[in-house]
Homo-oligomer: A and B are copies of this chain.
C-alpha cells in the first residue's frame, strides 16, 4: 500500500509532519509513505526545507492521497500545471486533506455538492467554491475526507490506517502519540525497551 502526502511551498509544518510521523508508525511490510511535490524541495511557512520523495503524478497510483495545508494552498488552487498533475479517482483511492488543503480538493472538483471542513481562515474561500463547510474536525464523504485544526490529523490518518489495514493498527498508532498517563501508559510499551550501554552521567557543576 502506498500513501502519498502532497506538499508545496508555504505549507504549514505540523500538517505535513504530523501526518508523516503518524503514518510511519504503522508496522506493516506492505506500507510505504511518501511526500510528493512539484519540486525536489519545498519550504514551509516558517522556513523549514523539506525534501520531497517523488513527483506529484505518483499520487495517481497511490492507495491514499493526503493534501497538506498552509498559505501555499491559495496559490495552488490557481496553479494549472499543479492541478493537472492529478488524476485522482475516489472510487479506488482514499483522498483527504488537512485544514486549507480542502481548497485543493475543491479545485480538483472532488468536493462538488459535498460537506467539508477547513481551517477557520479558509472557510469563506472554500464556501465560494460551492462547498458546504461545516464546523467539524473530520468530515467523510465516501472515500473523500477533510479534517481541520492540526490535531484533527489523528482522525484523518486514523481513517486511512483503519481503511487500508485495520482498526487494531489504527488504535496502536494513535495510542503511541498520546500523553503519558493520558492515553499512553508505561505498561503499554515498556516491554519493548532496549537498553544501550551504561550511560554517562555528568555531575552538574555547583556554580
Contact = CB atoms under 8 A, between A and B. Distances in A.
B120 A193 contact: yes
A66 B146 CA distance: 33
Q: Taking the full assembly, how many copies of this chain does it contain?
A: 2
Interface stretch (A55-63, A147-155, A164-172): A147-155
Interface in A154-195: 155, 176-190, 192-195
A179 B13 contact: no
A186 B135 contact: yes
Contact of A77 (B14, B108, B200): B200
B137 A182 contact: yes
Interface of A: 12-14, 17-18, 20-22, 24, 46, 48-51, 74-75, 77-78, 80, 83, 103, 106-110, 112, 117-125, 128-130, 135-138, 147-152, 155, 176-190, 192-204
The 9 closest A-B pairs by CB, nearest first: A137-B179, A109-B204, A17-B17, A149-B179, A120-B189, A152-B179, A14-B21, A150-B177, A148-B180
